[in-house]
A and B are shown apart, each in its own frame.
Chain A
């Protein structure tokens, strides 16, 4: 499978503090890559560098072969983002939020198409027209997934997406992610959830103090072994 995400000696320095140290990484199309690490390990910094929110101090981040900076607008066309807490517009309904963010990305869909995206993301139909203020965290995430689907993004970045979700919502979310990967989408996820990472990911990276210390394939490791490795690493 072709490489879709690549980090080359990627470094982010804040004066004396190094948030990310010479990260080199390649991720193939259709892969689910999970980054594990404590708070401050550099997971979100890595995502923000790929999203183009931060400028690398050294090295480069590439999406589909295009360097993110200074081509953020070009690379953004390929990506979607699901933050830890999905915040949308409270005065709009779920379907209106989806419509709004799709149009923002340059896509215009009919109501039926928008409803189909929401259904595919797992949102119950009766919630479509309710204002966002009445949505749970899981429901908001489903709208964010629908936004990613509507954008037809090839890479979806997720920052601790299962944090705060109940077990059922987590299971639903995992199933949707697997469907996305099966459909050829690449998922790059930062998480604290070791068991979900093993269950969901194809590869797992463990970060410590801004460095990627281990990269393991989930096919060759159990959750218990990964937990052991993680605890030894941090």
Chain B
């Protein structure tokens, strides 16, 4: 019976057109993701070569002043995208994934980002996660809205009711055929991702797949609930599309507006100003007032000579540090607010399935805001360790040639998942079960509806 029901479904021309369309859209999304990844990898390769070349060039041009040399030298810290980022680009295309830093003040460099595609911030990318999160529900709605009402409207329902032991089992079987088709489509796209991107077969891909499957099953549970209400095809389609608009568009938009209003990040501007003022005003200030907080910050350098008559690079880098120190409060406040936004967004996401799935997918792919914040925090640690490596050489005006420059290759950020995505998907699982159970109760209560008075 399953095979016959499947044949009846798949022989429909509109079903074949829909499947083909989604397959093509999915392949396009994989191509877009693959291009993004290639671009990111090309940038990583370019910065690796650039770092080596600029070190060689500057060491040759400034062979005798370590402090001056370090004014120019840049060191790359790279948030290398996981291949899975091709499937869920998230914010990785608008946030900087390569920090190319000098040992000067950090705050002035940390947010220097290659914002080359602001248009995408508005629309999002047509990556596979977009297809799964926003387009697959539409396919599911198109497949499911008339699963029962079509039987009634086309007159097959009475015969089905007489033949079938359980009407609900019949409808669930029909739904399961559509679920298999949608999951098959997902499986094909994921298999193509392994070939096209290529995404490695690992636990991350498994988590990505499981999350996507859970999300798809959620939409089937929504469909089942609406089906159980036994409205006409037109009303059922309207109700399901309303759910889509509410969950995929209105809900996230409202949450975003609320979060922006609740946690305004004025500190983004004040951090920038304080860092600049903190550094620039020191040119005219008493040197002691610059050095005192510097030695307080770094007591290990207090033994170095800084008050020599000629220009002293220790004083110069202390001025740079002053900029960072004076902006530190605002910088921290900004980071905290972004974290608060993220945390509250996660709480709201528990109630809005597409948001929850989106956060989980970007988290698995390492392209979410959380990872970007981790990267920025880690950037500070990288900057600090680079400074601490070079400060003694600068402060003693060490020999440039004595440094092993070959060891200064780009360093890579390694993200740690802040949440276990499968655990994070628990609310979605619970909602799916609640919707399914409610659908079962309503379906049983409605009994053998769709009969006509004689």
Contacts and interface: CB of A to CB of B under 8 A. Distances in A.
A44 B453 contact: yes
A46 B7 CA distance: 36
A85 interface: yes
A227 interface: no
A106 to B, nearest CB: 7
Choose among A52, A87, A88 the residue with the greatest number of B CB atoms under 10 Å from its CB: A87
B2 to A, nearest CB: 9
Contact of A72 (B11, B163, B448, B452): B448
A190 B156 contact: no
A47 B454 contact: yes
A43 interface: yes
Given A44-B453, A53-B451, A54-B451, A92 B159 contact: no
Interface of B is mostly: loop
Nearest to A39: B454
Interface stretch (B139-147, B164-172, B176-184): B164-172
A52 B451 CA distance: 10
Contacts of A40: 454
B165 A101 contact: no
B454 A96 contact: no
Nearest to B161: A53
B5 A100 contact: yes
A87 B159 contact: yes
A104 B7 contact: no
B contact residues, range: 20 to 34
A85 B454 contact: no
A92 B4 contact: yes
Given A91-B12, A104-B1, A76 B155 contact: no
Interface residues of A, number: 44
A121 B345 CA distance: 64
B155 A83 contact: yes
Given A44-B452, A96-B7, A88 B163 contact: no
Contacts of B5: 100
Choose among B7, B9, B166, B448 the residue with the greatest number of A CB atoms under 10 Å from its CB: B448
Choose among A85, A91, A144 the residue with the greatest number of B CB atoms under 10 Å from its CB: A91
B162 interface: yes
A81 B454 contact: no
B418 to A, nearest CB: 49
Contacts of B452: 44, 48
Choose among A47, A72, A101 the residue with the greatest number of B CB atoms under 10 Å from its CB: A101
Given A51-B162, A72-B448, A151-B163, A89 B156 contact: yes
A99 B5 CA distance: 11
A73 interface: yes
Given A48-B453, A52-B161, A104-B163, 9 more contacts: A45-B453, A48-B451, A51-B162, A55-B447, A73-B165, A76-B163, A91-B11, A100-B4, A104-B1
